[in-house]
Amino acid sequence: MPKMKTHKGLKKRIKITANGKVKHKRPNASHLMSGKSGDRGRRLRKDAVLSNVISKNIKIQMGKA
């Protein structure tokens, strides 16, 4: 059986923390920001942490499970 390859598109978009949590950049923050409120823009700047259910599948794709 060959080794499982890392999903390269996913590797560029997420980071797995030292405690095993999955961080990612929030969507909808790259352009058309003038139509969104300042509070929303500040909220979108922060990284988000995925839930354990989704992060389990992502770790498998990253070869970290």
pLDDT given at position 28: 93
Is position 3 within any domain? no
C-alpha–C-alpha distance, residues 36 and 49, integer Å: 22
- Provide the residue type at 50 as one letter: L
1-55 pLDDT tens trace: 888 899 999 999 999 999 999 999 999 999 999 999 999 999 999 999 998 899 9
pLDDT given at position 11: 93
pLDDT given at position 1: 81
pLDDT given at position 14: 93
Is position 14 within any domain? yes
Is position 1 within any domain? no
pLDDT given at position 4: 87
Give the CATH number of the domain where residue 52 resides. 4.10.410.60
| Domain of residue 32, residue span | 8-62
Q: CA dihedral defined by 56, 59, 60, 65, rounded to 10 degrees?
A: -90
The pTM score is 0.77
Give the number of domains in the chain. 1
